[in-house]
A and B are shown apart, each in its own frame.
Chain A
């Protein structure tokens, strides 16, 4: 009796394992359909029904020596398999279509946002560069705050558009020659204010010169900027960030090391996922969409390089990217 119980328990465990591997519930949540409509569930159902029907046919054919009956029942099974298969394919198609629509919606919406964002950008620039005379300090402060909000909005719009492009496989990178060292120096310069705000010292450890690399200058700049601003933002008082660049054979590696909050061990495998923000990062900084690293990884990998990190909570993180001097596969054809 006991043995039987334990065998049933074992079977239950095995079944749970099988279902756990397939994780129908999670699939249903991910796809936004009910459990009965998930492809995994329908596949299992189909398999079970086929087995049952086959067994039934086998027993029937032993009792009745009629080939017609066999053919009819076989046909029924085939019809059934086709029907369920069709339902599964239609379900998958539906999910794919919804996904595509979502992606298209994001790209259309963010594209539509670009005109008003450009208007804001240019109007503020016109005001500050041509008509700032006579404005009081208070008025100028307000305009600068508006400008800051605009920049945040523009960055978010660009990020959303990039994510949509990545999802649709339409991210196109230019191929132009540029000086990575100068790019890194420019990024450090542009984040100077942020570093001062956070009271973070930025140390630089880069060689005197490097051969020019071929790739997308603007987007590589976006990646470096992302890594550096993360390092600064998630580093507490008395923080230190070190930017180093070195060349090994035909590869250039840039690393950005900080002594900041770090990423908890249990979340490290999710760092490059869309919309990911570590628990402690979210506590530490409310700003941030969790898109930056996802985009960064896609840009670097599409450029033929690698992006990786090491991190320990409360000790700090080091993010590194490596890029080939010459890209391996041709992508863009523009030299602008």
Chain B
């Protein structure tokens, strides 16, 4: 089985680092972006199998990132898991309507649960 590539979009450096380390030990290949513009760029050039996306980001927020990726033939089919602490239904609804696959509230999930969700989404795709 080919190693799956995950793009982590997270502006908090500690969260980015822990996610990256945990996913590496789980056998995923990871790249990271700390802002929305870089995220779109890396998604286009790196063709990840899945994107973990925060909503509040510098330069370009998560909504804009989803819009950009979904309107581009090359990145349209990449599944996006929103990983956010914006727990309000309004934010989530907005992101899901734009085409994100699912969402997780960071503070409520352990890393292993995040990994389980990634595997679940990857197996469907």
Which residue of B25, B93, B111 has the most chain A CB atoms within 10 A of its CB atom? B111
> Given that A121-B110, A122-B15 are known contacts, is A114 also in contact with B85, CB under 8 Å in the complex?
yes
A117-133 residues at the B interface, CB under 8 angstroms = 117-119, 121-123, 125-126, 129-130
A160: min CB distance to chain B, Å: 13
B81-115 residues at the A interface, CB under 8 angstroms = 85, 87-89, 92-93, 96, 102-103, 106-108, 110-112
Q: Does B14 contact A (CB under 8 A)?
A: yes
B106 to A114, Cβ gap below 8 A?
A: yes
Q: Does A336 contact B (CB under 8 A)?
A: yes
A285 cross-chain contacts in B, Cβ below 8 A: none
> Given that A114-B106, A115-B12, A119-B12 are known contacts, is A125 also in contact with B89, CB under 8 Å in the complex?
no
Of the residues A126, A333, A334, A336, contact of B18 by C-beta under 8 Å: A126
Identity of the chain B residue whose Cβ is nearest the Cβ of A173 in the assembled complex: B89
Report the bound CA distance from A158 to B105 in whole Å.
Answer: 12
Report the bound CA distance from A158 to B22 in whole Å.
Answer: 25
Interface size on A, residues (CB 8 A): 24
> Given that A118-B106, A125-B110, A172-B88 are known contacts, is A333 also in contact with B93, CB under 8 Å in the complex?
yes
A115 cross-chain contacts in B, Cβ below 8 A: 12, 15, 85, 106
A126 to B88, Cβ gap below 8 A?
A: no
Q: Does B68 contact A (CB under 8 A)?
A: no
A336 to B103, Cβ gap below 8 A?
A: yes
Identity of the chain B residue whose Cβ is nearest the Cβ of A122 in the assembled complex: B18
B112 to A119, Cβ gap below 8 A?
A: no
B85 to A126, Cβ gap below 8 A?
A: no
B111 to A125, Cβ gap below 8 A?
A: yes
A119 to B85, Cβ gap below 8 A?
A: no
A119: min CB distance to chain B, Å: 5
B100: min CB distance to chain A, Å: 11
Interface size on B, residues (CB 8 A): 23
Which residue of A118, A126, A161 has the most chain B CB atoms within 10 A of its CB atom? A118
Q: Does B19 contact A (CB under 8 A)?
A: yes
Identity of the chain A residue whose Cβ is nearest the Cβ of B105 in the assembled complex: A114
A170 cross-chain contacts in B, Cβ below 8 A: 88
Q: Does B41 contact A (CB under 8 A)?
A: no
A122 to B12, Cβ gap below 8 A?
A: no
B15 to A119, Cβ gap below 8 A?
A: yes
A130 to B12, Cβ gap below 8 A?
A: no
Report the bound CA distance from A121 to B85 in whole Å.
Answer: 14
A122 to B111, Cβ gap below 8 A?
A: yes
Report the bound CA distance from A129 to B15 in whole Å.
Answer: 16
> Given that A115-B12, A336-B102, A336-B103 are known contacts, is A218 also in contact with B108, CB under 8 Å in the complex?
yes
B22 to A126, Cβ gap below 8 A?
A: yes
Q: Does A288 contact B (CB under 8 A)?
A: no
B45: min CB distance to chain A, Å: 28
Report the bound CA distance from A234 to B22 in whole Å.
Answer: 39
A118 to B88, Cβ gap below 8 A?
A: no
B21 cross-chain contacts in A, Cβ below 8 A: 126, 130
**Sample of 15 further A-B pairs with CB below 8 A, known A114-B106, A123-B14, A334-B89:** A114-B85, A114-B107, A115-B15, A117-B107, A119-B14, A122-B22, A125-B111, A125-B112, A126-B21, A126-B111, A161-B87, A172-B89, A333-B93, A334-B92, A336-B103
Chain B residues in the interface with A (C-beta under 8 A): 12, 14-15, 18-19, 21-22, 25, 85, 87-89, 92-93, 96, 102-103, 106-108, 110-112
What are the 9 closest A-B residue pairs judged by CB atoms, nearest first? A172-B89, A114-B85, A122-B18, A114-B107, A118-B106, A119-B14, A118-B107, A125-B111, A126-B18
- 12 A-B interface contacts by CB (under 8 A): A118-B15, A119-B14, A119-B18, A121-B107, A122-B15, A122-B18, A122-B22, A126-B21, A130-B22, A170-B88, A172-B89, A333-B93
